[in-house]
Amino acid sequence: MEQLSPRVIWLWRFGSLIRTLLFWTPIAAFAGVGVAGLGGTAAGVLVAGGPLALVLLMGLAWPSLSWRHFGFALREHDLLVQRGVLYRRRTSIPVSRIQHVETRQGPLERMLGLSRVLVFTASGFSAEGSIPGLDTPRAEALRDTLARRGEDDGV
């Protein structure tokens, strides 16, 4: 199985940090202030800081685990994608069924030189296969290879 670029770990860590700052920190602060009013400053800091520290720690560690469990293989007849630490998903997409392939880059991905490859079939369930965090030249090569291999789409 081919692995993603290790740089994607930093991309995911950064995404997790942003989510923590924008979502979890205000909630923790709100809870902390509430508890501090009832049980004193120390209790407030503990209630706000404890879970927040845990979320931050998870945000640092989880991307490494995700990277380790993510793999894909372009085989003769299908594209195989495997992902997930707790919830594992293994997807097989026959290459003959691929309708179109896209590469996408957000600002952070551009900074890190990474791209996502999205594979669409006629199933109508958004992108059937998604491979994030590939070096851009590798993503483009994969996109071109997959896009050229479509045959009978079975529809």
Partner 1 sequence: MSEEVAWKRLHPASLWVNLVPRTWRTLWSLWPLVLLAVVGGGGVGVRPEDAVFLLFFLVSGAASTIVHYLTLRYRVVEDRLEIRQGLLNREARAIDASRIQNAEMLRNPFHKLAGLVEVRLETAGALRTEGLLSALSEQQAADLMARVDAARGREPVDDDATEKEPVARLGTLELLAYGLTSHRAGMAGLLLAGAYEVASVLDPMAAERAALRAEGTQIAGLVLMTLALAAAISALLTLLRHHDYRLHQSGEELASEEGLLTRRKVEIPLRKVQLVHVEETLPRRLMGFGTVQVETAGIGEVGEGGVRAPELTVPVVQRPRLFAMSRRAVPDPGFDPWSQELRPAHRRALWRTLIQLTARHLLFSAVALTGGVVVAGVVLSLLPVLWLAAWLDWRYQGWMLTDDALIARRGFWRRHTWVVPRDKLQAVHLVQGPVLRLAGLGRVLVRVAGAQVLLPDLATHDARAVMDELCPA
Question: Which residues of this protein are in contact with partner 1, per CB under 8 A?
Answer: 75-78, 80, 86-94, 97, 121-125, 128-129, 154-155
Closest CB to partner 1 among residues 47, 70: 70
CA angle 16, 20, 21 (to 5 degrees): 120
Least distance (Å) between residue 14 CB and partner 1: 27
Closest CB to partner 1 among residues 76, 107: 76
Closest CB to partner 1 among residues 109, 128: 128
**3-state DSSP call for residue 130?**
strand
* Residue 143 contacts residue 116 (beta carbons within 8 Å): no
What's the CA gap between 7 and 106, in Å, rounded? 14
Closest CB to partner 1 among residues 88, 107: 88
Taking residue 81's Cβ as centre, other Cβ atoms within 10 Å add up to 22
Least distance (Å) between residue 142 CB and partner 1: 17
Least distance (Å) between residue 68 CB and partner 1: 16
* Residue 93: closest CA among 136, 137, 154: 154
* Residue 127: closest CA among 146, 151, 99: 99
Least distance (Å) between residue 12 CB and partner 1: 20
